Copies of this chain bind each other. A is one copy, B any other.
Amino acid sequence: MSTRIEQLCQDKGLKMTEQRRIIARVLSEATDHPDVEQVFRRAATLDPRISIATVYRTIRLFEEANIVEKHDFGDGRSRYEESGGRSHHHHLINLRTGEVIEFENDELELLKRKIAAQLGFELAGERLELYGVPLAEAAKKKDNGS
Chain A interface, number of residues (Cβ within 8 angstroms): 37
- Smallest distance from the beta carbon of A33 to chain B beta carbons, Å? 15
Confirm or deny: A53 has a beta carbon within 8 angstroms of a beta carbon on chain B. no
Confirm or deny: A139 has a beta carbon within 8 angstroms of a beta carbon on chain B. yes
| Complex Cα–Cα for A72 and B129 (A) | 12
Confirm or deny: A13 has a beta carbon within 8 angstroms of a beta carbon on chain B. no
A122 CB contact (under 8 Å) in B112, B118, B133, B143: B133
Residues of B within 8 A of A116 (CB): 92, 130, 132
B115 and A103: CB pair below 8 A?
A: yes
Residues of B within 8 A of A112 (CB): 130
| Complex Cα–Cα for A107 and B114 (A) | 11
A121 and B133: CB pair below 8 A?
A: yes
